[in-house]
Amino acid sequence: MKLSLLTLATAATVVNAAYPGDIVYYWVDQSATFVNGSIIGGLQSPPSAWYQAVVQAAVYQAAVKSKHESLEFQQLAISHAAHNSILWVFHGSRLYNAVDAALRAVIPAIGLDPSSNKGKEAARTGQVAAAKVAQARADDKLTNFVNFTYGPKEPGVFQQSPGSNPFPDTPQARFVTPFAGLGDISRFRPPPPPKTNSKEYETQLLYVKEQGELGSTVRTPHDTDTAYFWRESSIIVWNRFAGAIVGTKLATNPLASAKLYAQLNYALANAGLASWDAKYTYLGWRPTTAIHHPSIWLASGQNISDPNWTPLLRPTPSHPDYVSTHSTFGGAASTVLRAWNGGADTIDGGGATVSSNVTLDNRGVITRTYTSLRAAAEENSQSRVFGGIHFTFAGVEGVALGQRVAEETLRRFDENWDKF
């Protein structure tokens, strides 16, 4: 069997590599720690997905540029790329010490002397990679101001939800340049949601009102935990999910690992942008707003108004209902991981065990094991209904949207991966 130069280089350097784990996942995990921690207070969607895509774009660039070097060199180059791209996103914040500490902690484990010529070359490779990505994303429209104004206070029209921020989150995100040269994101736009005067709409409204209330007596304990489990940043949970499936299988092949996590996070970022396009096109109101509406507006004439109704997950996010971005992320991530898994939906080896830290209601850490990628994506979607913050149709169409976006991202990746 003929071996590639990459395979030969990797095989020759395995015995010398001091860092035993997957260096790419090390930085995926560190990235999540920074954005999920108390230093900056977290990132809302879809900038949370954009952030991870920027970091993994730099990591993959460094991996490509260093693929013929020793494993230690690759690890150090990737580490500098991740370090610099994280700080580019957050510079001016209080993250500097924490990100520096993450790099300082892993350098001895890598084992390549940073003061040696090779060490300096590896550092420069990573730094240049991060700078290239930063330059490409510097004017991608994420920072542009959009002066959003709410529409009339009529049934179905997006309004500020009780207890949420007075202005909606990042309305400019629908205009952000996608990753991997995806082009006009609006071409993925789903069909309109059900009309508020339809039987389908009324059925789903009554369902989320019953299932999603804070004090619901019909929601099962398992479904309550489902809402809690998936409440954490979907970007973080799905990257953690990937880590649970992949483990250390790619530890000695940083290029392959970097490609997987770049594909995953490009797809997540693109899915978030497509979701935002749908949200700010259709401007659907949230269940909380619908239930609090004071007038009788259902076609059946039923009065469902309850100004005291409170969702389990609170406060309600400050952006339109349709589609559910959480669901879109799940559809995208499961599609990428299914492709990595050889097209199989079933997760071998007993499944993927993932933990999620729930800070709401003092619930604490919840750990679950998944054997099906599709089932995980569907559960992720349903969690938002059990949490009282989305209609079911927003989740169903969200999963489908994420799948379409991820499939196109994967199709274009090899040719357009450097279209950051």
For 149-205, write each residue's pLDDT tens digit.
Answer: 999 999 999 999 988 889 999 999 999 999 999 999 999 999 999 999 999 999 999
Q: Pull the structure tokens for residue 118.
A: 């090779």
Q: How confident is the model at residue 39 (pLDDT cuts 50, 70, 90)?
A: low
The reply to whether 124 and 179 lie within a common domain is no
Could you give the CA distance from residue 7 to residue 12 in angstroms, rounded to a whole number?
9
- Tell me what percent of the residues of the chain surpass a pLDDT of 70: 94
pLDDT at 10 over 70: no
Of the three residues 92, 120, 137, the one that is the final residue of a domain is 137
Q: Same structural domain for residues 26 and 104?
A: yes
Residue 59 has pLDDT above 50, yes or no: yes
Q: Tell me, yes or no, whether 76 and 220 share the same domain.
A: no
The pLDDT score that the predictor gives to residue 6 is: 37
Residues 283 and 211 in one domain: yes
324 and 216 in one domain?
yes
Q: Which residue among 137, 158, 186 closes a domain? A: 137
| Domain tally, the chain | 2
The answer on 188 and 88 residing in a single domain is: no
Co-location of 290 and 369 in the same domain: yes
- 163 vs 266 pLDDT, higher one: 266
Instruction: Show the tokens assigned to 11.
Output: 């095989």
Helix axes 5-13, 71-90, angle to 10 degrees: 100
pLDDT at position 94 = 81
Report which of 191, 234, 229 is spatially closest to residue 326, judged by C-alpha positions.
Answer: 234
Range of the domain at 82: 5-137
User: Looking at residue 291, what is its pLDDT?
Assistant: 97
Asked whether residue 230 falls in the same domain as residue 287, the answer is yes
The pLDDT tens digits of the residues spanning 276-308 come to: 999 999 999 999 999 999 999 999 999 999 999
CATH number for the domain that contains residue 375: 1.10.606.20
Is residue 156 included in any domain, yes or no?
A: no
Do 179 and 76 belong together in one domain? no
Residue 54 lies in a domain: yes
Same domain for 224 and 342, yes or no, is: yes
At residue 13, does pLDDT exceed 80?
Answer: no
Kindly indicate the confidence band of residue 36, based on its pLDDT and cuts at 50, 70 and 90. low
pLDDT-based confidence at residue 14 (cuts at 50, 70, 90): very low
DSSP states of 374-402: HHHHHHHHHHHHHTTSS-HHHHHHHHHHH
Geometric angle at alpha carbon 129, from 120 and 30, rounded to 5°: 85
> Do 207 and 344 sit in the same domain of this protein?
yes
